[in-house]
């Protein structure tokens, strides 16, 4: 039996096979971890939540800051949901300043996370990180942040060549130039529909 096709980018759109994928997604988490530090530990609750999401017409779920267990991806696949998983690059960027000898191997941390779910049919994409703080981006300089994210992008692609990779940016650091990404993601908090539409048009250009 041939494996299910994975999401891919064609022009400005996402496809699964020959079907255009129009994302209707929600964020799932963060939640209080259990005694073992597991954020997504109650599979019965997750299965119920995913079934309700699918029934409501949702087709994508974002896991923002924690690498989900593979069992969560299995449940998502069973419900027809695609999952964006977060790799939390923003949590490690301080080590570009504080180069301690005991600093973690960031590339290896990211590589291990990707390998834990590489190739899973429920994967929508990997998000390298979420909203690197604007003061940190200014302190380090645009080019250093861009190189940092590009290096981690290459790490992800080595571990899962067919996986899509993005970074969740926001207007305060929209000046970052990240053409290597497979798709763009922005957190946009505008309560006016008119302003939201205008900013969306700006991003499209």
pLDDT 10s digits, 138-170 = 999 999 999 999 999 999 999 999 999 999 998
As a whole number of angstroms, the distance between CA 155 and CA 114 comes to: 9
**Number of Cβ atoms within 10 Å of the Cβ of 173:** 17
CB under 8 Å to 70, separation ≥6 — which residues?
116, 117, 120
As a whole number of angstroms, the distance between CA 168 and CA 198 comes to: 19
Burial of 29 from C-beta contacts in 10 A (0-12 / 13-18 / 19+) = middle
**Fold type of domain 7-30+39-204:** TIM Barrel (3.20.20)
CB under 8 Å to 32, separation ≥6 — which residues?
39
Query: What single DSSP character describes residue 181?
Result: S
CA-to-CA dists, residue 77 to 18, 71, 122, 183, angstroms:
19, 10, 5, 22
- Work out the angle at residue 134's Cα, subtended by the Cα atoms of residues 195 and 65, and round it to the nearest 5 degrees: 90
- Work out the angle at residue 58's Cα, subtended by the Cα atoms of residues 57 and 61, and round it to the nearest 5 degrees: 170
Of 23-27, 101-105, 109-113, which range is least confident? 101-105
pLDDT-derived band at 195 (thresholds 50, 70, 90) equals confident
As a whole number of angstroms, the distance between CA 147 and CA 3 comes to: 34
pLDDT tens, residue by residue, 61-99? 999 888 899 999 999 999 999 999 999 888 888 777 666
Domain ranges of the chain: 7-30+39-204
Q: Which of 76, 59, 178, 77 has its CA nearest to residue 127?
A: 178
């Amino acid at each position: 039996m041939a494996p299910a096709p994975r999401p891919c980018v064609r022009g400005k759109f996402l496809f699964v096979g020959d079907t255009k994928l129009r994302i209707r997604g929600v964020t799932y988490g963060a939640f209080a971890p259990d005694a073992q530090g597991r954020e997504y530990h109650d599979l019965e609750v997750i299965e119920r939540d995913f079934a309700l999401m699918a029934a409501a017409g949702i087709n994508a779920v974002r896991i923002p800051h924690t690498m989900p267990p593979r069992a969560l991806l299995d449940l998502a696949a069973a419900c027809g949901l695609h999952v964006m998983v977060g790799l939390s690059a923003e949590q490690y960027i301080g080590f570009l300043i504080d180069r301690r000898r005991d600093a973690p191997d960031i590339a290896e941390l990211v590589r291990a996370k990707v390998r834990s779910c590489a190739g899973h049919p429920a994967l929508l994409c990997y998000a390298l990180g979420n909203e690197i703080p604007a003061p940190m981006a200014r302190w380090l300089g645009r080019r250093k942040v861009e190189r940092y994210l590009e290096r981690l992008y290459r790490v992800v692609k080595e571990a899962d060549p067919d996986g899509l990779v993005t970074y969740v940016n926001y207007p305060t650091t929209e000046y970052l130039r990240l053409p290597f990404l497979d798709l763009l993601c922005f957190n946009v908090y505008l309560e006016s529909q008119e302003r939201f539409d205008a900013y969306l048009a700006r991003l499209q250009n």
